[in-house]
Structure 1
């Protein structure tokens, strides 16, 4: 018998056949090759036509032998996601793959190695016969439902609501905590770009802190409106969402939005501000692969005066003192200079909110860098708790004071 055939047969006898499973909520993986002998799997994020960047991946690997080492390789999707644009590999190649044996607890792999032909390889030791692997710790619509249910059960004053039904018929869920006519009003939302699961993880850390005894005084004077996932349709199917056709959620804050959930958010924010005044709007995102934790601020920041300038400056100062784990937030605002037209800036959520509220309102985007082993569920949660402490001090000082 030929030696290579003998090796193949012996390998099949020693190991079960590896299988890739991605047909679950938030699942995404296109198998490029699967070598049963060398136990090497190469995947790329599957492309969902018109659904934005192919960068998110999440799947289960079945048929592993406990204790064996296998290799996961990740390459960029080769097809264009929009017109002739092919997404750069860095967006789908974190330094660490994230691994779970129960779908709840996620740990980083050893650091991957990048080849000359831009393939990232991770060597992983199997801890179970089936393991979940992902770009980062996932947060899917069912996680949002459970989180909101837990918060509502803990706080009698919390009221769940449905912001809208998506174009795909899915519910975009939210929760309101506090009296509707409270002295201060806050809106915090995540995942206008579906691939940015870390934004929802930061949101989970924030809302968990907000429901704790440490936030009791803040809750007594504030009405919080919280949305864990805006782009539910793409989060549910594992699509990227960013630069979707004809536009993504964070470019849809126009006079006539495409997405029902964006239109509903606009109506609610207008109503809140007209009746009570809106103090704080925060949009939670993940940035580029080499970016730290930072806030995008308003382009006009350097020209601001009076209460507007005071509030934006005080917010970034407080954030720098409070968001210190697992990494410090940058102490100065960044500005989205890659957005070059005023028209497009006006269709971004933070810009739209600034244009439709008042001088006392701050509207910012928190970008939490993801490409680090520190950005576990717990690490993201610490950023969210720091955000909560920032908000507590900011509201305590009364941003509406003259």
Structure 2
């Protein structure tokens, strides 16, 4: 057989062998799902390193939330995620500090349902946070924290409605973008006690909705049967549905965010609708408690913001706020105990702005026996998992049961 023919056959064999080898999948990033947000700064396929920053939604508040899917990964092979701050100003000339988008741990999921923290990230001198991820599959969801999107809210409301057939789902309002802000009422409209619990005046604070989910599941449990018999609860899982849906931050939106919109003429239809319902509840029956659920700064634990005038209060008003704090401290103990004293939002400098905060507005439009508080649950810890947030919510429910059992309306 001629040598030239043999050489040609060897080359053909090598080519066929090469073609039979599995090709290295290209790493791809996507955010085309509810709550998705990431702007790719760079992607090195060879080094398997992705750098992102939160995408800026003009006029939609802080660019701090990120949530995306990575495809084309090799299971068991390390992949590096780098997160930097958004470089563009979110409002006028304000650029958001990097710390707000750089939690100690990224949160990972193979199915979009179960979330676990990554190893702790490392912060470089140029303020870039790097996380080493070890995927178990070719696709991975990655987020700033355990997400809670409008679809999760709908799933939760359906779950509670199925468990408590006597409950009533309702639409608070449509948003400016035409989305529904939904809630659920549990209990007789004319019950002796009336309560309003809501989450996510700031869309990026997903942990607030996680706490709310733990609360409402506890509230629907057998343990809360006696409480439900004496109470009418209105529960809203997400107030800022528009920004939660598109992955925008919401806080300090233009002209103002939901938690600063409780004015005589609100910007957001859902805020106006909540004001109308709360006024009606209080006028007909009296409102015992308003509880707003938030996710604060990176260094915070779990605490309540209380009323600025707390030390000057007297009579039933001071007694009820003191009693609430005592019972909250006794019942909110997992995954970490709530601080036993109120904090005060001293960064809000004017009475006018304090009156436009949801808790301040409720305090100013209800009675002396009403408590109006904000529960702030910190986020920068692996303790603040879905389970950790849920335990906080269950503790909140137990505190509420003990508080209403003491009859806060009694002089």
Question: TM-score, normalised to structure 1's length?
Answer: 0.97
Contact residue 160 and residue 176 of structure 1 kept, 8 A: yes
Secondary structure at the aligned position of 2:321 is classed as: helix
Structure-to-structure mapping, 1:119-130, within 5 angstroms: 119-130=128-139
Aligned to 1:334: 343
CA deviations over 1:88-130 (Å, ceiling 9, x no partner): 0010000000000000000000000000000000001011110
Long gaps (5+) in structure 1:
1-8
Aligned to 1:137: 146
Structure-to-structure mapping, 1:288-303, within 5 angstroms: 288-303=297-312
- Structure 2 residue 179 is matched with structure 1 residue 170: yes
- Structure 2 residue 99 is matched with structure 1 residue 99: no
Aligned to 1:241: 250
For residues 149 and 340 of structure 2, the distance between their equivalents in structure 1, rounded to whole angstroms, comes to 31
- Structure 2 residue 193 is matched with structure 1 residue 187: no
Secondary structure at the aligned position of 2:168 is classed as: strand
Secondary structure at the aligned position of 1:78 is classed as: coil
Aligned to 2:387: 378
CA deviations over 1:110-164 (Å, ceiling 9, x no partner): 0000000000000010111100000000000010000000000000111000000
Aligned to 2:322: 313
Structure-to-structure mapping, 1:3-402, within 5 angstroms: 15-402=24-411
- The alpha-carbon deviation at position 14 of structure 1 amounts to 6.2
CA deviations over 1:334-390 (Å, ceiling 9, x no partner): 000000011000000000000000000000000000000011100000000000000
Contact residue 15 and residue 64 of structure 1 kept, 8 A: no
For residues 317 and 42 of structure 1, the distance between their equivalents in structure 2, rounded to whole angstroms, comes to 46
| Structure with max Cα Rg | 2
Cα distance change on mapping 1:219 and 1:347 into 2, 3 Å: same
Secondary structure at the aligned position of 1:127 is classed as: coil
- The alpha-carbon deviation at position 15 of structure 1 amounts to 3.1
For residues 271 and 252 of structure 1, the distance between their equivalents in structure 2, rounded to whole angstroms, comes to 19
- The alpha-carbon deviation at position 61 of structure 1 amounts to 0.3
Aligned to 2:11: none
For residues 126 and 289 of structure 1, the distance between their equivalents in structure 2, rounded to whole angstroms, comes to 26
Aligned to 1:3: none
- The alpha-carbon deviation at position 36 of structure 1 amounts to 0.3
- The alpha-carbon deviation at position 305 of structure 1 amounts to 0.5
For residues 176 and 192 of structure 1, the distance between their equivalents in structure 2, rounded to whole angstroms, comes to 19
Contact residue 185 and residue 222 of structure 1 kept, 8 A: yes
Secondary structure at the aligned position of 2:397 is classed as: helix
Secondary structure at the aligned position of 1:395 is classed as: helix
For residues 342 and 118 of structure 1, the distance between their equivalents in structure 2, rounded to whole angstroms, comes to 36
RMSD of the TM alignment (CA)? Answer: 1.0
Question: TM-score, normalised to structure 2's length?
Answer: 0.95
Secondary structure at the aligned position of 1:118 is classed as: coil
- The alpha-carbon deviation at position 13 of structure 1 amounts to 6.7
Question: Hey, which bits of structure 1, 4+ residues long, moved more than 4 A?
Answer: none
Q: How many residues align?
A: 392
CA deviations over 1:283-310 (Å, ceiling 9, x no partner): 0001111111000000000000000000
Secondary structure at the aligned position of 1:202 is classed as: helix
CA deviations over 1:180-235 (Å, ceiling 9, x no partner): 00000000000000000000000000000000000000000000000000000000
CA deviations over 1:232-275 (Å, ceiling 9, x no partner): 00000000000000000000000000000000000000000000
Contact residue 66 and residue 128 of structure 1 kept, 8 A: yes
For residues 14 and 376 of structure 1, the distance between their equivalents in structure 2, rounded to whole angstroms, comes to 37
- The alpha-carbon deviation at position 16 of structure 1 amounts to 1.1
Contact residue 184 and residue 223 of structure 1 kept, 8 A: yes
For residues 65 and 24 of structure 2, the distance between their equivalents in structure 1, rounded to whole angstroms, comes to 29
